[in-house]
Chain A
Amino acid sequence: MRNKKEKWLAFLLVSPSILAVAVFVYGFIGWTTRVSFTAWKGMIPDYTFVKLQNYIDLFTNNLRFQIDIRNTLIFTVIFVFGTLLLGLITALLLDQGLKGEGLFRNLFIFPMAISYIVTGVVWRWLMNPAQGSRLSGLNLLFHTLHLDFLNSLYTATPEWGMAFIAIPAIWQLSGYTMAMYLAGLRAIPDELREAARVDGATEFEIFRYIVFPLLRPVTLSAMIILGHMSLKTFDLVIAVAGKQLPLDMPSINMWQTTFDAHLYGSGAAISILLLISTAVLIIPYLFFSLRKEGQQ
């Protein structure tokens, strides 16, 4: 009796947030999906059903969307692997039990506290592509250190400018992966390493055959979290490079198509595709981790 009453109360208490999520998240996902199947452009809603036309147009004759896909792939690959690698290296270094570990740990995590916009603006100054007499930022530093071969056009590099936008993102989030890896390393029992040492394994072999495989779940979680962040990137790109076609991302395209060009149907299609691409990453992960929790 009492239990039943508490259940009822619990439901009552969470119902407002369930309602809000239902309307403002799932309701609007549904509505956006509906708009993405319509011919709506301009200020007046037009719900003429055009089937998958908006999606077909994006994939067949939309040069900008193809650039978006390419840029997203470049950014994601460099950002995710760069962040994982740098995070793993710093975590391994910190795990050696050096003095002042807490200080370094905080130092590496600190960039995470900064917003993407600030990171973007600072790195925009650092990665100033000006040449000749107007050298500044990193290029000026390289010049004064007589390292002129490192001089770069950064985001203005033809074809590969997008790769440089991953650098500030790596800088910002490698501290986060470091924290995850460090927790993973600490969870590995010393007995395992000692047993390996007794068997005559070198330190590298211990890392390669014992530590690294045991860190796999951490790597997977980090990959998924970083991956979905990179798909949604908007503010960092805007802050570093503004809105320009060579450095376009699906999220920027969605904003401009919808609110600057008033092509609401097409803009909705881009946002649904973004949602699907993120969901492909997140849902299996949530599914497995929830099932694991259920088993425990």
Chain B
Amino acid sequence: MPKKLYVVFAVVLVVAMTLAACAKTPVATQAPAATEAAATQAPAATEAPAATQAPAAKQQLEVFSWWTGGGEAAGLEAMIAIWNKQNPDIEFVNAAVAGGAGSNAKAVLATRLAAGDPPDSFQGHAGQEMIGTYVAAGQLEPLDDLYKANGWYDVFPATLIPLISKDGHPYSVPVNIHRANVLWYNPKVLAKYNVTAPTDFASWLTALAALKTAGMEAPLALGENWTEVQLWETVLIADAGADMYTKLWNGEADWNDAKVLKSIEDYNKLMEYVNSDYATLSWQDASKLVADGDAAFNVMGDWADGYFSGKVDGGNLGLTPETDYAWMPVPGTQGVYDFLSDSFNLPVGAKNRDAAIKWLTLCGSKEGQDAFNPVKGSIPARNDADKSLYGVYLQSAMADWSKDTVVGSLWHGVVANDTWKNQIATDFGAFILDKDAAKFQASMVASCAQFGPCKK
């Protein structure tokens, strides 16, 4: 008798599982968004009560990002607060996916886009990372009308617009601006060794040599692989100049040029002054070498300012700008702003397109940008923002942003698409091993032809 009961139970179980498996298919294709967001992110729980109340079917806006921690999440919260004030009748659904500098989020996003279920707007690095991937696949709408209606062509720097456009159409709205070509240095170390801050690339090398002769083991701090590529991109700007640098990336200039070779050789010269353990250091480790006085210089994007000056109990160093640490553009790149930016866009087939347009309008507005950026530690893309809200470094960056020539960062996805960038990273890794400048230049020529805009 119990055996019979067991058989019945087993059959019921199997039938139930089969039914569940069958029933799941349509549900899964309709709403992976809800399940994924709920599984990875607590705030998405707001969706559940909305769905159960739902007699008046409240309108929603779903914004997808990987801003789940630190200043980024706080900045996003500040913008959501404005959104809720402006649009009390549209619920903001924060579909942020945590982890891995966005690599988890990008995998989730790719699945959703492939399933025809895009969020209403999603975050991405402005430039080729977005254009080469999503615009190339026809997954984003151009934003010309929005740019015209809001007068963004006038308030964003003129040299910025082509870098975030394809065939003359902008595809994303930059919320923040970071700068990659910043040289951070320790003024106390320079004073101790009686070395003055460099003014151009040659005087930088002189300063490094003087520090090394005076007994500093590694005057230039360097970190893991991507910080090496970022350092080279700034040397390339210094040697090629802003105009040629941009042309190299859009296929109008030749990678075989002698200036490219010079930049690679100059990079080799810099490598004589770096710490031997660079391959194992994060960018924070490398910045800390400067803060501790173990090194004099470090080239890092301007998020390092937040690490230098931020509160100690937040895991930062709590230093005073201009006394404990100071900055200048990478020598030879004065007057050039090597930018990167987080931006939002309008996916084709967004379910709440009107709300998404309102969101993008907020992203590009003075109010939105001044809410997000002081918290995140970046500057607004607009040149009419309220400077009094920002710290010492950011104010100097804003002054440069409004007058400098803007070029796009290689490592941070502005000038090269993901496939090309990945190939460059591999070739650069090989170059770090063999230091063969001519070979690396040849591989740049080859990868531009294979994955970039160069003619084959």
Contact = CB atoms under 8 A, between A and B. Distances in A.
Nearest to B292: A134
Interface string B253-285: 000000000000000000000011111100000
Contact of B422 (A63, A131, A261): A261
B280 A129 contact: yes
A12 B419 contact: no
A134 B276 CA distance: 11
B91 interface: no
Contacts of A246: 279, 429, 432-433
Contacts of A13: 10, 14
Nearest to A45: B114
Contacts of A129: 276-277, 280
Interface in B409-432: 418-419, 421-423, 426, 429-430, 432
B383 interface: no
A131 B419 contact: no
Contacts of A262: 133, 418-419
A183 interface: no
A130 B275 CA distance: 8
Contacts of B423: 261
Contacts of B419: 41-42, 261-263
A245 B225 contact: yes
Contact of B426 (A64, A153, A241): A64
Contact of B430 (A12, A130, A245, A256): A245
Contact of A43 (B136, B421, B433): B136
B426 A134 contact: no
A41 B133 CA distance: 10
Given A43-B114, A131-B217, A245-B432, A260 B418 contact: yes
A42 B280 contact: no
Nearest to B443: A63
Interface in A104-149: 124, 128-134
Contacts of B426: 63-64, 245
Nearest to B276: A131
A28 to B, nearest CB: 14
Contacts of A241: 279-280
A45 B279 CA distance: 36
Given A64-B426, A134-B294, A259-B106, A156 B418 contact: no
B280 A124 contact: yes
A17 to B, nearest CB: 10
Interface string B124-143: 00000000011011110000
A76 interface: no
B14 A16 contact: yes
Contacts, number: 98
A262 B422 CA distance: 9
Q: Which range contains the number of B residues in contact with the other chain?
A: 35 or more
Contact of B277 (A15, A43, A128): A128
Contacts of A42: 133, 136-137, 419
A276 B277 CA distance: 36
A16 B40 CA distance: 28
Contacts of A259: 103, 106-107
Q: Which of A12, A124, A244 has the most CB of B within 10 A?
A: A244
Contacts of A124: 280
Contacts of A257: 422
B11 to A, nearest CB: 7
A217 interface: no
A243 interface: yes
Contacts of B280: 124, 128-129, 155-156, 241-242
Contact of B224 (A12, A130, A244): A244
A70 to B, nearest CB: 12
Q: Which of A124, A132, A133 has the most CB of B within 10 A?
A: A132
A75 B421 CA distance: 28
A247 B419 CA distance: 21
Interface in B1-30: 7, 10-11, 14, 17-18, 21
B110 interface: yes
A103 interface: no
A44 interface: yes
A294 interface: no
B225 A243 contact: yes
Interface in B380-431: 418-419, 421-423, 426, 429-430
A52 interface: no
A45 B113 CA distance: 12
Interface in A156-178: 156, 158
B225 A133 contact: no
A43 B276 contact: no
A155 B225 CA distance: 14
Contacts of A130: 275-277
Interface in B327-348: none
Contacts of A64: 426, 429-430
A160 B138 CA distance: 45
A9 interface: yes
B109 to A, nearest CB: 10
A156 B11 contact: no
Interface in A15-58: 15-16, 41-45
Contacts of A242: 224-225, 280
Given A63-B426, A246-B432, 10 more contacts: A16-B17, A16-B18, A43-B134, A128-B277, A156-B279, A243-B225, A244-B224, A257-B422, A263-B419, A263-B422
21 contacts: A9-B10, A13-B10, A16-B18, A43-B110, A43-B114, A43-B133, A43-B137, A43-B139, A64-B430, A131-B277, A132-B217, A153-B277, A242-B224, A242-B280, A243-B225, A259-B107, A260-B418, A260-B422, A261-B418, A261-B419, A262-B418
Rank and list the top 3 A-B pairs by shortest CB-CB distance, nearest first: A245-B429, A261-B422, A43-B137
Interface of B: 7, 10-11, 14, 17-18, 21, 103, 106-107, 110, 113-114, 133-134, 136-139, 217, 224-225, 275-280, 294, 418-419, 421-423, 426, 429-430, 432-433
Interface of A: 9, 12-13, 15-16, 41-45, 63-64, 124, 128-134, 153, 155-156, 158, 241-246, 248, 256-257, 259-263
